[in-house]
A and B are shown apart, each in its own frame.
Chain A
Amino acid sequence: MSKSLIHARGLTKKFGDFTAVNGIDFDVIKGESFGLLGPNGAGKSTAMRMIGATSQRTSGDLTILDKDPDKFGPQIRAHLGVVPQQDNLDTQLSVVENLYIYGRYFGLSRKFLKGKIEELLSFAQLEEKRNAKVESLSGGMKRRLTIARALVSEPEILMLDEPTTGLDPQARHILWDRLFRLKEDGVTLLITTHFMDEAEQLCDRLVVMDKGAIMAEGSPAQLIKDYSMKEVLELRFGSERNAHMADDLRQLCDRIEELPDRILMYTEDGEELLERVYKKGFHPKTSLVRRSSLEDVFLRLTGRTLID
């Protein structure tokens, strides 16, 4: 079996009476890209902070590279590159200074950093912004700088908490491209996200989290296979009529989900199902056939959508 870099069993975090993470089990294997998918408040960030050795677990077992974060915080953090959800770049410093001082925090030598910084500027496509202050960077540039900064210590594991939240589509694609390259270089990625497309793009394997617990685990394709059908037919009849229509449509397919704005019908062949809908005399205002996604897996598991 491949080497497990992060190993969690019954991992639990409580804040007073509130249980943020409720006994989760998972392993992250060297070189893979592992995702925690779930809505806001599912406990993903709390789990990340425990793995990042900046938050003590309440109970359960957790080892990172065979070390207990409660005992070896600095040693574990030396292996990790952390990209937090909220940017915490040093706004008093320039781009280059941010990379330099972060390396110094790890105790790295000036000589090493000199070369490393050039490499990272090129990786993050920020060569032309080297002397710019952080404030003047766009959201996408700030994120790339945060990732570059996390790589300064050449970490084995890169942890990204909601890496593309708040970015425009183009900036997201640039970022994904950079993350693919890292994966090719053998860096293990641990990613939290509430975007199902991001999880599908980036993760080899993921766990679906809700309310502090893991609902399912597997590769994106496997999860879709296990918890959804191949295709989805989305129908809109107008907000008042959706609920009423759902009951009549139920006879046409195995599973139906009724959302406030639309009805989702799960099937192996969407076009064929749409034909049958029309034949039965139903006339939706709009219809759309698409492939099943992790969004559908989440809906199946929790009865809710990922983004409320």
Chain B
Amino acid sequence: MIILTAVAIAEARMGKPGEKYYSGRSRVIMERAYITFKSSTWLIVISGFVEPVLFLLSFGYGLKDLVGDMTIAGQPVGYVAFIAPALLATSAMNGAIYDSTMNVFFKMNHDRVYHGMLATSLGPMDVALGEISWALLRGFSYALGFMAVVVPLGLVPSAWGILAIPAAVLIAFGFASFGMAVTSYMKSFQQLEVINIFLLPMFLFSGSFYPLSVFPEWLQTIIRLFPLAHAIDLVRGLTLGNVSWALLEHVAYFVVMIVIGLFFTTKRLNALFMR
């Protein structure tokens, strides 16, 4: 086997589109994430899996007899089955946000890990894609783990429910790319708290524990400006089998979020490290 040198590897990409920003090696950023995961961050990851299950047990089984069955699209739905998809969507959000905000901020400002990466033949797009892909992989495993709990409990009545897993990945992608873009503009840990100001109310008011229809129209409109309401509607539509073209609107919302997030993240990384 011929061992390629760093120079040969870099020169092989000459003339490819976006070569200044992208070296086609975002996988090595994920490799780094995997090494740190093995040694330290797995605890955080486990807690991300346990959290929605705890909510499910506490709220779901605690309230189900008090609340009784809900009626969704003319069909009776048990309360636990109603909140399970919301918890899946929320955990996809939380995992992606952790990876793309705290984690990214630390590497950007405190450890200067990105400075090191960008002094090599990597480009900012490799870094952004690699970090986001890792967040997605995590979102995917959360979704898989959560489904492994709720499906045997009979909480996913529809076969469409299998699509909740890719939906959770899409949701994680949206939050991760947007979160990373926002983080790249933050100057201190205190400013990062701004993100939490949005997260908790979003979780509480986006229709996790009861339908949005309990709110007046104007408030529903405001809530639907924020991503989590779309995430919950999408996942819930799939697990309960209320599939219609309307679900594509939610998908479109996240596609736009991803594009905007990636655009600003790459732009910002370039401005920060390639000035």
A residues near B (Cβ < 8 Å) are: 15, 52, 54-56, 71-75, 77-80, 82, 84, 86, 88-94, 97, 101-102, 104-109, 111-112, 153-155
Contacts and interface: CB of A to CB of B under 8 A. Distances in A.
Given A104-B31, A107-B23, 11 more contacts: A54-B273, A55-B275, A72-B14, A75-B14, A78-B120, A93-B35, A97-B35, A102-B120, A105-B121, A108-B6, A112-B3
A74 B119 contact: no
22 contacts: A54-B119, A54-B274, A73-B274, A74-B20, A74-B122, A78-B120, A78-B121, A82-B119, A84-B116, A88-B115, A90-B116, A93-B32, A101-B28, A101-B32, A101-B35, A102-B120, A105-B120, A106-B6, A106-B10, A106-B121, A108-B3, A108-B4
B64 interface: no
B129 to A, nearest CB: 14
Nearest to A159: B119
Contacts of B116: 84, 88-90, 102
B139 to A, nearest CB: 21
A78 B3 contact: no
A107 B25 contact: yes
B6 A154 contact: yes
A52 B201 CA distance: 45
Contacts of A86: 112
Contacts of A15: 275
Contacts of A54: 118-119, 273-274
Nearest to B11: A75
A97 B274 CA distance: 26
Given A56-B275, A88-B115, A90-B113, A107 B36 contact: no
Nearest to B123: A74
B244 interface: no
Contact of A109 (B4, B13, B25): B4
Nearest to A55: B275
B69 interface: no
B134 to A, nearest CB: 13
A108 B9 contact: yes
B256 interface: no
Contacts of A102: 116, 120
A109 to B, nearest CB: 6
Contacts of B5: 108, 153-154
Contacts, number: 112
B40 interface: yes
Contacts of B28: 101, 104-105, 107
B111 interface: yes
A160 to B, nearest CB: 13
B111 A105 contact: no
Tell me the dominant secondary structure on chain A's binding face: loop
Nearest to B275: A55
A304 B181 CA distance: 45
Contact of A111 (B1, B13, B113, B119): B1
A93 B33 CA distance: 10
B4 A107 contact: yes
Contacts of B14: 72, 75
A92 B25 CA distance: 21
Given A84-B119, A107-B4, A71 B10 contact: no
A94 B118 CA distance: 20
Given A54-B274, A74-B19, A106-B6, A90 B32 contact: yes
Contacts of B274: 54-56, 73
Interface string B106-128: 00000111011111111100000
B10 A75 contact: yes
Contacts of A78: 6-7, 9-11, 120-121
Contacts of B121: 74-75, 77-78, 105-107
Nearest to A152: B6
A241 to B, nearest CB: 48
Contacts of B117: 105
Contacts of B7: 75, 78-79
A92 B37 CA distance: 10
A290 B154 CA distance: 88
A154 B7 CA distance: 9
A82 B112 CA distance: 14
A105 B275 contact: no
A77 B10 CA distance: 9
B36 A93 contact: yes
